[in-house]
Structure 1
Amino acid sequence: MKKYKESINTILDRLQLSVKKNNLKNSKQREIILKVIYENGGHLSPEEIFTLARKVCKSSSISSVYRILSFLEKEGFVNSIEVDKSGKKYEIASGLHHDHIICVECGRIEEFCNEEIEKLQIEVTNDHEAKLVGHDMLLYVVCKSCLKNQK
């Protein structure tokens, strides 16, 4: 399982505060969706999240999953990446920066962090007399497995 900066209990405690702040009712579905993403390591589509959440909460609907994901992203609990035309994939907003390598054949997503790339991005922004405030890097590849299958 993927390592996160925070435990699921800490994240759920923050969720309760966010729900109160936004004057919303408590919803087990929000917690279930966060747990599904956390326990499965992320990079899940709304449909995958719905299928997994439905095992725990039969009353889940795909529309509620989309609505909850929108709220969770707005409140900083999850991040989304758009890897292809099929839509967004969601992961826990861990606070630990990373980038993604995405296989265009099988759709597998791997995370990576490279300090040299990070330094180069700062250099480029400095060269443009700007300040880097964030970035998302998505590298599209044909992974080793798919390359082997092509032979």
Structure 2
Amino acid sequence: MTNNNEQAIDELKKIVKQKGLKYTEQREIVLKILLHAHAHLTAEEIYNQIKLEEPESNIGIATVYRALGFLEEVNLITSIVFGNDGKKYESNAKEHHDHLICTSCGKIVEFVDDEIEKRQDKIASKNKFKITSHSMQLYGLCSNCQ
């Protein structure tokens, strides 16, 4: 596990302790799946991956949804909403990036653009606004769906 991944697991343990909650292996398993994912995953995809990689854990789909809700609430993961297709999740342990999202096939392309980041800071400064976080999602059609 990379250093960022270990930090995310440590952060989960700290948050659970601060909230006076019981640390559960199920939350850790769901978080680990997202930490190692190379794509944005739906709850069902996470559940199927758990069945393959952690069959002895016996985690049900409802537990996956509860774990995802908790992990998103404490800002360890984020989601992108896809209308009828529901949400797709990713870990927050990655470096900041924005998304291009195909409205036809659901393909997601992550990108970083320093000029966009600078422009956002300039706009915020001009309006005497302090950005604490942001998420940019651009919707359209990928080259395969055009």
TM-score (norm 1): 0.81
Give matches, 1:65-80, under 5 Å. 65-80=64-79
Q: Secondary structure at the match of 2:139?
A: strand
Pick the aligned partner of 2:12 from 10, 15, 32.
15
CA contact (8 A) 1:42 1:92 kept: no
Q: Secondary structure at the match of 1:146?
A: coil
| Overall identity of the aligned pairs, in % | 38
Give matches, 1:1-151, under 5 Å. 6=4, 8-55=5-52, 56-57=54-55, 59-94=58-93, 96-147=95-146
Aligned length: 143
The structural deviation recorded for 1:11 is 2.2
The structural deviation recorded for 1:114 is 0.6
CA contact (8 A) 2:81 2:88 kept: yes
CA distance in 2, matches of 1:5, 1:81: 25
Aligned amino acid, residue 66 of structure 2: R
CA distance in 2, matches of 1:123, 1:67: 39
RMSD over aligned CA atoms reads 2.1
The structural deviation recorded for 1:94 is 1.9
Instruction: Please identify runs of 4+ aligned residues in structure 1 that moved more than 6 A.
Output: none
